[in-house]
């Protein structure tokens, strides 16, 4: 009888807690900031430990890579010398293009990209579950980072800040199925929304069937979502399913950023609109 009573109490408590979790999911979906508050407090507690463990790992791995690097330094020096010659030639061509670009920008009075303020941050952690693609970075509110700010690497889109504490922040990557970026096909200006497809990279949704789109096309941010500045590279089209029925095509992208290798990112702290005003 006592065992039955205990089982009933456990089942009752579990049922109540499960209902509570459903309520929490529903509430945090409507108010994304709520999850961010808890996360900020948690990050503030775990941040220093994450920083220490990350720097410890970096020190050990760089020591190891330095040692390995010495072993084939001679061969690499020869290879690098050959690459240097090729890059010098390419550099002079790019300088020419840059000059031309600056002239065109002057003519079109396009806002200079440098008007956007950014904070460079290092990745110190990843989401502990394997189901949400998110990173933790070592900069937070003290450096002006706020939820909703875009995160970039080079000129490639990494994701968006979802929560920020004083010293660390978390960003949802564009490869997470829950993310979304308003995008354009650079060559044809067809529009769509890029969302994550997990390990398959990204998917561009809502591209009309009649829109011209080919493998290798560059997909850039449209700037219409008011979060990401216009013209940032999201990825390259890797597959287009033209056979599928319906209004839209299925378009798959290879992200511009290699998320397994990225170490440092830039958080854009000036909103595109503010940058335009400057």
Partner 1 sequence: MLSWRAAFLTLLLGIPAVILQGSVLKSVFPDWPTPGFLISIVAFLSFYEVTPLGAVLAFLLGLELDISTGVFLGPWAGAYVVTFVVFSSLSQRIFVESGLSAMVIVFISSLLSNLVFVLLMLEFKSYGWEMIWTALFEALLSALFAPLVLKLLRVLLLRRDQRGNSRSKMVIA
Residue ranges that bind partner 1, judged by CB under 8 A: 6-7, 9-14, 17-18, 20-25, 27-29, 32, 34-36, 38-43, 45-46, 49-50, 53-54, 57, 124-132, 134, 136, 162-163, 170, 172, 176-178, 197-200, 259-261
Nearer to partner 1, 163 or 190 (CB): 163
Nearer to partner 1, 85 or 130 (CB): 130
Environment class of residue 156 by beta-carbon count within 10 Å: exposed (0-12), middle (13-18) or buried (19+)? Answer: middle
Nearer to partner 1, 81 or 129 (CB): 129
Q: How far is the CB of 91 from partner 1 (least distance, A)?
A: 31
Distance (Å, whole) CA 29 – CA 23: 10
Nearer to partner 1, 5 or 114 (CB): 5
Nearer to partner 1, 14 or 95 (CB): 14
Q: How far is the CB of 54 from partner 1 (least distance, A)?
A: 6
Nearest CA to 144 among 29, 271, 276? 271
114 secondary structure, DSSP code: G
Q: Would you list the DSSP string of 165-216?
A: -SS-EEEEETTSTT--EEEEETTT--EEEEEE-GGG-EEEEEEETTS---TT
Nearer to partner 1, 85 or 260 (CB): 260
143 secondary structure, DSSP code: G
Distance (Å, whole) CA 141 – CA 33: 15
Q: How far is the CB of 102 from partner 1 (least distance, A)?
A: 38
Contact 83, 76 (CB under 8 A): no
Nearer to partner 1, 218 or 225 (CB): 225
Q: How far is the CB of 269 from partner 1 (least distance, A)?
A: 19
b (16+ CB within 10 A) / e for 109-145: eebeeeebebbebebbbbeeeeebbbbbbbbbeebeb
Q: How far is the CB of 181 from partner 1 (least distance, A)?
A: 15
Per DSSP, which regions of the chain are E strands?
A: 118-126, 134-137, 150-153, 156-164, 169-173, 181-185, 191-196, 202-208, 218-221, 233-241, 248-255, 264-268
Contact 118, 268 (CB under 8 A): yes
């Amino acid at each position: 009888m006592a065992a039955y009573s205990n089982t009933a109490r456990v089942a009752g408590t579990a049922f109540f807690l499960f209902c509570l979790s459903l309520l929490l999911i529903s509430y945090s979906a409507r108010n994304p900031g709520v999850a961010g508050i808890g996360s900020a407090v948690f990050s503030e507690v775990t941040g220093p430990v994450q920083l220490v463990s990350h720097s410890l790992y970096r020190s050990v791995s760089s020591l190891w890579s330095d040692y390995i690097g010495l072993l084939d330094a001679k061969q690499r020096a020869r290879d690098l010398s050959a690459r240097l010659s090729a890059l010098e030639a390419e550099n002079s061509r790019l300088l020419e293009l840059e000059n031309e670009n600056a002239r065109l920008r002057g003519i079109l009075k396009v806002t200079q990209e440098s008007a956007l303020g950014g904070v460079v941050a290092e990745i110190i952690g990843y989401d502990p579950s394997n189901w949400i693609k998110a990173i933790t970075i070592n900069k937070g509110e003290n450096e002006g980072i706020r939820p909703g700010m875009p995160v970039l690497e080079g000129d490639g889109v990494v994701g968006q800040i979802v929560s920020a504490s004083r010293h660390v922040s978390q960003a949802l990557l564009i490869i997470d199925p829950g993310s979304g970026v308003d995008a354009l096909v650079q060559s044809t200006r067809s529009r769509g929304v890029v969302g994550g497809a997990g390990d398959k990279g990204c998917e561009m949704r809502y591209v009309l069937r009649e829109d011209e789109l080919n493998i290798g096309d560059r997909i850039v941010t449209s700037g219409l979502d008011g979060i990401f500045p216009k013209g940032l590279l999201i990825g390259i089209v890797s597959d287009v399913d033209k056979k599928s029925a319906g209004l839209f095509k299925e378009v798959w992208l290879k992200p511009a950023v290699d998320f397994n290798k990225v170490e440092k990112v830039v958080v854009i702290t000036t909103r595109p609109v503010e940058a335009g005003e400057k």
